[in-house]
Amino acid sequence: MNRILHLLSLLILGVVLLPACSKKQADLNKDKPLIVVCEASTSPYCYYNGQDANPPVAGVDIDIVEEIAKELGRPVQYQLRTFPEVLKLVEAGKADIGVAGITITQERAQKLLFSDAYDGSSQVIVVPKNSSIENENMLKSARVAAQAGTSDLDLLRELEPEYVLPFLTQEDINNALVANKADAAVMDRMQAELLVKTTGDTFKVLDKSLSDDKYGIAFNKQSTELAEAANKVIDRLKKDGVIEKSRSKHFDIVTQLGIGAKVEEQVEPFVLCLAVESSASPFAFWTDNNHLAGIDIDIAEAIAAELKRPLIIKIVSFDEVIPLVTSGAADMGASGITVTPERAEKVLFSEPYKEGGRRIMVRDDATFEKLDDLKGKRIGARIGTIHVAFVSDELDTFPCLFDDDKPGFGSLLNKEIDAYVLDETQADLAADKYNEIRPLGISLPQANYAFAFQKGDDKAKAVADKIIKEKRGNGELEKLFGKYNTLCKEIRAAVD
């Protein structure tokens, strides 16, 4: 079984993150450990070192972190998370440091405080050695992979290939290339060279570099003293040639071990991988004690138990859920997914477990009375949802896209947009939180929510259908919605 995913599942489901210091004067508090979040498949910068190892991760970034901790006289506590979660946890102040060969970008720098650049690389295209693809223009009809939440994926989307395949980890991408589930991939040059070397020249790196990257360590915006201390350590390590030696050392180690470049032999019982977006209350959300909960999580656990397969969870953005299931990087997708004909062409849907619709949220002082009143107005929706097409097609206006509902509500309250469209379940929770907004009293078409499976996975779908029908018949579904709607209102998980 994939070691990294197994460890991720344990941490996602069972670890309570310690709150990070949020005040400047607490940055260098020697009584508290440095909470370091990392994504452990970015060799040679950060890779899994073994469950019994101390620390459990290794790499260039970890060498730097250990030196920073030594300089400050503070112990280190590592948490393994997905790449998008690394950035979010540091931004939210729930971790002190984020590492994973993180590219410094202007967009990220608006939310995070970065150290000075300690290393750099470039983004390249990797293809099988016998591939006819010679440059980025030939990707138009190809299946091209990149890591979810990274600048690699942003760049790939700009190239507009026919199929964009987002994968959670670099290891997933390498496995997809080896298994011929992807025709090409965009990745860091160092990752590409590792793949080529560890697979016996099965692949090749195209000559042209797509961009030049600078890597930095991520801190919370308030952690200025910690960042300054890190910069002093980084400057010393660069001058002494330590970082260059570290890169060479870890490149050799992961090359010898073949880390991140081989399809591991699957052992029984094989896991059931769920891709889920973790702020889709009440379907999937973080509780106050950082426990992942929700209706979809409860149902997924019941499905996994019936299949006798250990459940692991990949936390991704909503717009990555369906692509991950389609590409085979996840077995099952959830997050209050609405069944649509377009999505049904890509995935296999379970029996619907909830009928619902959408709401149009407006400010209390809005004078809109019918849909025509909204045409041409500034309307917001969450990227990847069916509401984007609704705004574009039904309201005849270009949608203002948000990666989360919270900034959407913020823009609505600040009068930057005129309305915001979302699922009725989330709308009810938002109305309970904000007194200044309300749902527009317009009847809209109903929709069904279901679990998504890979095409051809009839066995998993049949089990899901059985579980859902049983829970509907004995009243458990209704109780689940009542339980989690109440909990979400208490902790404001939908908007906080």
Query: Going by C-beta distance under 8 Å and a sequence separation of 6 or more, which residues neighbour residue 168?
Result: 82, 83, 147, 148, 275, 314, 316, 324, 329, 330
CA–CA dist 385, 405 (Å, integer): 11
Q: What angle do CA 205, 211, 212 make, to 5 degrees?
A: 105
- Map out the domains of the chain with their CATH numbers: 3-116+216-257 (3.40.190.10), 119-213 (3.40.190.10), 272-353+454-491 (3.40.190.10), 355-447 (3.40.190.10)
Q: Are 173 and 159 in contact (CB under 8 A)?
A: no
Q: How far is CA 72 from each of CA 2, 32, 229, 230, 241, rounded to the nearest angstrom? A: 35, 11, 8, 9, 21
> How many secondary structure helices (H) and strands (E) does the chain include?
17, 28
DSSP H or E run through 17: none
CA–CA dist 471, 353 (Å, integer): 9
pTM for the structure as a whole: 0.49
Q: How far is CA 307 from each of CA 106, 151, 290, 312, 464, rounded to the nearest angstrom? A: 45, 37, 27, 13, 10
Find, among 34, 51, 395, the residue nearest to 229 by Cα: 34
Q: What is the pLDDT along the chain (496 residues), one digit of tens a residue?
A: 343 444 344 333 333 333 333 344 445 566 688 999 888 777 788 887 765 667 778 889 999 999 999 999 999 988 877 777 888 889 989 899 999 889 898 889 999 999 999 988 888 999 999 999 999 989 888 888 888 777 888 888 888 887 888 877 777 788 888 888 889 999 988 888 888 888 877 899 998 988 888 899 999 999 999 999 999 999 999 999 999 999 889 878 876 654 433 323 333 346 788 988 877 778 888 776 557 788 999 999 999 999 988 888 877 778 888 888 887 778 999 988 888 888 899 999 999 998 877 788 888 888 887 888 888 788 888 876 777 777 777 777 777 888 777 788 888 888 888 888 887 777 777 777 777 888 887 767 777 889 999 998 999 999 999 999 999 999 998 898 888 877 766 655 333 4
